[in-house]
Amino acid sequence: METRDSIIASAKNEFARFGFEGARVDRIARLAKVNKAMIYYHFGSKKRLYRAVIENQLSTKADFIEAILRQDLTIDEFVLQLASFYARVFSDNEFLPIFLRELASGGIQVKEIILKTISQKNLTAKLRNYFEAEMASGRIRRVNIEHAIISFIGMNVFYIAVASIANQIWEIENVEGFLSDRPRQVADIFLNGIKAK
Amino acid sequence: METRDSIIASAKNEFARFGFEGARVDRIARLAKVNKAMIYYHFGSKKRLYRAVIENQLSTKADFIEAILRQDLTIDEFVLQLASFYARVFSDNEFLPIFLRELASGGIQVKEIILKTISQKNLTAKLRNYFEAEMASGRIRRVNIEHAIISFIGMNVFYIAVASIANQIWEIENVEGFLSDRPRQVADIFLNGIKAK
Amino acid sequence: METRDSIIASAKNEFARFGFEGARVDRIARLAKVNKAMIYYHFGSKKRLYRAVIENQLSTKADFIEAILRQDLTIDEFVLQLASFYARVFSDNEFLPIFLRELASGGIQVKEIILKTISQKNLTAKLRNYFEAEMASGRIRRVNIEHAIISFIGMNVFYIAVASIANQIWEIENVEGFLSDRPRQVADIFLNGIKAK
Amino acid sequence: METRDSIIASAKNEFARFGFEGARVDRIARLAKVNKAMIYYHFGSKKRLYRAVIENQLSTKADFIEAILRQDLTIDEFVLQLASFYARVFSDNEFLPIFLRELASGGIQVKEIILKTISQKNLTAKLRNYFEAEMASGRIRRVNIEHAIISFIGMNVFYIAVASIANQIWEIENVEGFLSDRPRQVADIFLNGIKAK
DNA sequence: TATGAATGAGATTTCATTCAT
DNA sequence: CATGAATGAAATCTCATTCAT
């Protein structure tokens, strides 16, 4: 399993830097210190290697949200934890570019896998239920749940994706600080946005 | 100039669908109904053609925000117009994937151009001033402006980027309706999030 | 058309010597004094080049039989001419091995093309008619036409195919002489075999 | 010995279907349910495995003709038995393609082995003697023995080799019947062709 | 004997770019 | 400006063979 793992790691790096089309099997092999033919022995094709990388990526991420949902948190804690979760996931230097490029090309690979894992764990329903309960209790306003959640995720993910541009536009100098501040800042606006007055 | 434009249009389509590395000069030529050598005659290289496409894209977009800022709108109107603007810009089927891939690969091409146009029109300062005036007037809470604006843009752009996945996850059937609803929904949460109570 | 033809000629030689699987595109290019990529420019793939070679081969051959059938010959002359025809066709040093290997692998490529040309010229019916007229006239016995014709072709082609083995087994020293004698010898036995006594 | 035999059997199948160059050692191993390295352990190389297959093939065939020659048959019986023999030998679905391809490539492998077995049993002389005796007795015409015998074998073998094409050209529907008829039909024409009138 | 993994050379195919006309 | 053909470098993939266990 050592060779396989080393190939996956190198491939992840290569795909992250150059995208699927730009990635070179030669380079992956060299980086993994492995004979090029081994890649085909283990994965069959560049495409299948790519899929393996993506599966390997996503399989680890989905557990987190579930863990958060199981914790029975107040809405404030819940939203903050979710924000931190997204920050962490998308700050992965190799995952983000792969994900962005997947989006760019319709994301058929990623989509399938994401849908599978999400439906397996029934995450959609659990999230919906959580928010509905909060609305029923009157702690938050009646808002459209889908729009709200998508907005929330967008607030979190977007900055990470465009950080290099945004930092320059807004002359953000303490990038580290800005980034670590972000979950709290996002949670602040979002919670204010949905809470009953 | 007809040939040049036809090449640019075809190239935009090709780069949008396949990315820079995946794009094929042959295909661009065929789509543009132009001899392949003509592309080199007019643009010199694939890379330079790509840059031409990107410049052609961005040059048109920046004027809009300025126009909004000039209008002297209430915060509610302002935020809604901004949301609509982003929705329109990123709903361009060809611009979005190019933009996403640029982000994925560090986006040096796009970044430069964006920064230039934004600083030319001094958009950052104008936006900041607008929000500061609103805070000074007490109409909105004291929030971190950078975080707020970035969050706001993220709310808008994110859904468009992930629409195909999100629609399935959240079982959104009336996609058209959801999309046209979105600016209002985003504005609602965001305004509530920043307004003073 | 010069490049194309030169590729076809070299390819014919290569396929004859090594078979489809054993043939090397590199070698064909070198022999044709052509850049390897040109082969793909003109033919698309090794397989398609192979088909082009076969079509090129067969297209010239079918005309001959028709010509013989048009001549209104006596059965003796007719059979002799046919024998000579087959001798000539299969003595092509490059065609024979290609044909044999096609047979070996089910001959799907060749089969299609042969059937097309034969049915186009309606050769089957013409041959059948010729033999039936001869039987009706009483000049030849009532034999099964299909079996007879297939036998006749076999007598002719077989020797050419196995010449190198047969010559050694039967200690044939004057190979040239044996070969040029053959049509007459074959015709002799065949005619005796089918003629009325 | 079980492994060896299983490899030979699978290899025969593979070589028959794809030829030497087209055959894949991997596939042979898989078909034989044997580890690929075992093939090298037992046979040393693909080439040597191929030779083993061919020897295995030919060793069984030569005995038959001898048996026929020993039987002291009339010319009618003799020719019919020979025809049936050839029909049987070349109807081997795996032997025929291998043989055809050997012919196509000069057949050095097969040639050697055939010559050895034929000369060992002195078959040539025995056949020649048989026909000469028949001619001396006046039962058959004075014909060139080599040409006659080669023609006869050709009549038999040819149809089997080209059956798939011939059946379509001649619209033979009852293929089984045609094939089982063939020895008699061939013998009929051949005997008539050589017999004295 | 037997296995799964590894290797190196080479095969087919692709593609940005250029040339001759 | 325009074209069809050409080029060279490199990309993906294959495969006979060997190795370590």
pLDDT at C175 over 80: yes
Write the DSSP string, D114-173.
HHHHHHHTTHHHHHHHHHHHHHHTTSB----HHHHHHHHHHHHHHHHHHHHHHHHHTT--
User: D195 in helix, strand or coil?
Assistant: strand
Residue range B27-32: mean pLDDT, rounded: 97
Phi/psi at C140 (5° precision) = -125, 160
In degrees rounded to 5, what are phi and psi of residue B156? -75, -50
Contact indicator for C42, C3 with CB cutoff of 8 Å:
yes
- B90: contact with A, CB 8 A cutoff: no
Residues C54-102: pLDDT tens digits? Answer: 988 887 777 777 888 888 889 999 999 999 999 998 988 899 999 999 9
Q: Per-residue pLDDT for C13 more than 90? A: yes
Query: Tokens 């509610």 appear where?
Result: B76
Which of D57, D53, D65 is CA-nearest to residue D14?
A: D53
Picking from B9-23, B46-60, C146-160, which range would have the lowest pLDDT averaged per residue? B46-60
- Please tell me the distance from the alpha carbon of residue D146 to that of residue D144, in angstroms, as a whole number: 6
Per-residue DSSP letter, D105: T
Say if the Cβ atoms of B197 and A194 lie within 8 Å: no
Which helix (H) or strand (E) covers residue D59, if one does? none
Cβ contact, residue pair A154, B150, below 8 Å: no
Count the alpha carbons within 13 Å of D112 in the hemisphere toward its beta carbon.
Answer: 5
Burial class (CB in 10 A: 0-12, 13-18, 19+), D12: buried
Position B1 confidence tier, pLDDT thresholds 50, 70, 90: low
| Closest to C87 measured CA to CA, from C143, C15, C160 | C160
Do residues D57 and D12 lie in contact, with contact meaning Cβ atoms separated by under 8 Å?
yes
Q: What is the nearest CA distance from A80 to chain B, expressed in angstroms?
A: 15
Greatest alpha-carbon pair distance for chain A in Å reads 64
Please give, rounded to a whole number of angstroms, the shortest distance from the CA of B19 to a CA of chain A.
8
Distance CA C58, CA C62 (A): 7
* Confidence at residue D1, expressed as pLDDT on a 0 to 100 scale: 66
Q: Both tokens of residue A33?
A: 């210190």
Q: Evaluate whether chains D and B are touching (3 or more beta carbon pairs less than 8 Å apart).
A: no
Using CA atoms, how far apart are residues A71 and A94, in angstroms rounded to an integer?
Answer: 29
Residues C85 and A43: their CA atoms lie apart, in Å, by 54
**DSSP annotation of C195:** B
Asked whether C98 and C15 are in contact (CB, 8 A), the reply is: yes
Residue B29's Cα: distance from chain center in Å?
27
Put simply, the answer to whether D107 touches C165 (Cβ < 8 Å) is yes
Confidence of residue C118 (pLDDT cuts 50, 70, 90): confident
Strand partners of residue D195: D140
H-run or E-run covering A170: none
Pairwise pLDDT comparison (B19 vs B118), residue with the higher score: B19
For residue A25, give the nearest of A56, A49, A6 by alpha carbon. A49
List bases in chain E with any atom under 7 Å of a protein Cβ: 1-20
What global pTM score does this model have? 0.90
CB C164 within 8 A of CB D107: yes
Reported as a single tens digit per residue, the pLDDT across A75-84 is 999 999 999 9
Q: Which residue has the tokens 């075999």?
A: C193
For A89, A138, C68, C113, C114, the CA distances from C57, given in Å and listed in that order, are 63, 85, 19, 10, 11
Alpha-carbon gap, residue C7 to C52, rounded angstroms: 10
Determine phi and psi for C195, rounding to 5 degrees.
Answer: -70, 150
Q: Footprint of strand F, using CB within 7 A?
A: A 23-26, 36-37, 40, 44-47; B 1, 3-4, 34-38, 41; C 2-3, 34-38, 41-42; D 23-26, 36-37, 40, 45-47
Residues A110 and B165: their CA atoms lie apart, in Å, by: 9
- Give the pLDDT confidence of A89-99 residue by residue, as tens digits: 898 889 999 99
CB contact under 8 Å between A147 and B197, yes or no, is no
Tell me the pLDDT tens digit for each residue of B186-197.
999 999 999 877
Residue B61 has pLDDT above 80, yes or no: no
What is the predicted pLDDT for the residue at D193?
94
Task: Say if residues A54 and A109 touch (Cβ distance below 8 Å).
Answer: yes
Question: Inter-chain contact B147–A171, Cβ cutoff 8 Å?
Answer: no
Give the span between the Cα atoms of D95 and D100, in whole angstroms: 9
pLDDT of residue B154: 96
pLDDT digits (tens, 9 = 90+) for C119-171: 888 889 988 999 999 999 999 999 999 999 999 999 999 999 999 999 999 99
What is the distance in angstroms measured between the alpha-carbon CA of D101 and the sugar C1' of F18?
30
Q: What's residue B108's pLDDT? A: 78
SS3 assignment for chain B = CHHHHHHHHHHHHHHHHHHHHHCCHHHHHHHHCCCHHHHHHHHCCHHHHHHHHHHHHHCCCHHHHHHHHCCCCCHHHHHHHHHHHHHHHHCCCCHHHHHHHHHHCCCHHHHHHHHHHHHHHCHHHHHHHHHHHHHHCCCECCCCHHHHHHHHHHHHHHHHHHHHHHHHHCCCCCHHHHHHHHHHHHHHHHHHHHECC
Q: Distance between CA D145 and CA D86 in Å, rounded?
A: 18
Question: Cα separation of A85 and A178, whole Å?
Answer: 16
**For residue B86, which amino acid is it?**
Y
- Identify which of C160, C179, C140 has the alpha carbon closest to the alpha carbon of residue D189: C140
> A104-130, pLDDT tens digit by residue?
998 787 888 888 888 888 889 988 999
D172 touches chain C (CB under 8 A): yes
Higher pLDDT among residues C171 and B108, named by residue? C171
Closest CA to A3 of A48, A50, A42, A47: A42
CA of residue A195 relative to chain centroid, distance: 26
pLDDT at B9: 96
Instruction: Determine the pLDDT at residue A97.
Output: 96
Cβ <8 Å between A193 and B190? yes
HEC sequence for C104-166: HCCCHHHHHHHHHHHHHCCHHHHHHHHHHHHHHHCCECCCCHHHHHHHHHHHHHHHHHHHHHH
B151-161 pLDDT, tens digit each: 999 999 999 99
Question: Token pair 């404030």 is at which residue?
Answer: A76
Residues 6+ apart with CB under 8 A from D18: C21, C105, D24
Q: List all residues of chain A from 17 to 76 with a beta carbon under 8 Å from chain B.
A: 17-22
Quote the radius of gyration of chain B (alpha carbons, Å). Answer: 20
D36 CA to F19 C1' in angstroms comes to 13
- Tens digit of pLDDT per residue, chain D (197 long)? 689 999 999 999 999 999 999 999 999 999 999 999 999 999 999 999 999 999 888 777 777 777 888 888 899 999 999 999 999 888 888 999 999 999 999 877 778 888 888 888 888 998 899 999 999 999 999 999 999 999 999 999 999 999 999 999 999 999 999 999 999 999 999 999 998 87
Q: What's the pLDDT score for residue C133? A: 94
The pLDDT of residue D116 is: 85
Backbone angles phi, psi at D131, to 5 degrees: -70, -35
Average pLDDT, chain A: 92
Is B120 or A169 the better-scoring residue by pLDDT?
A169
Q: Quick one: which of B60, B50, B57 has its CA closest to B15?
A: B50
Lowest mean pLDDT among A66-70, A84-88, C28-32, C161-165: A66-70
A57 within 8 A of A9, measured Cβ to Cβ: no
CB D135 within 8 A of CB D141: yes
Residue C193 — very low, low, confident or very high, per pLDDT cuts 50/70/90?
very high
pLDDT value at A154 more than 70: yes
- Is A159 within 8 Å of chain B by CB? yes
In whole angstroms, give the CA distance from residue B79 to residue C41: 56
- Nearest nucleotide to B1, CA against C1' atoms: F1
- CA C25, C1' E11: Å apart? 8
Q: Does C116 touch chain D (CB under 8 A)?
A: no
pLDDT higher than 90, residue A8: yes
Alpha-carbon distance of B113 to B60, in angstroms, equals 12
Q: What percent of chain C has pLDDT over 70?
A: 99
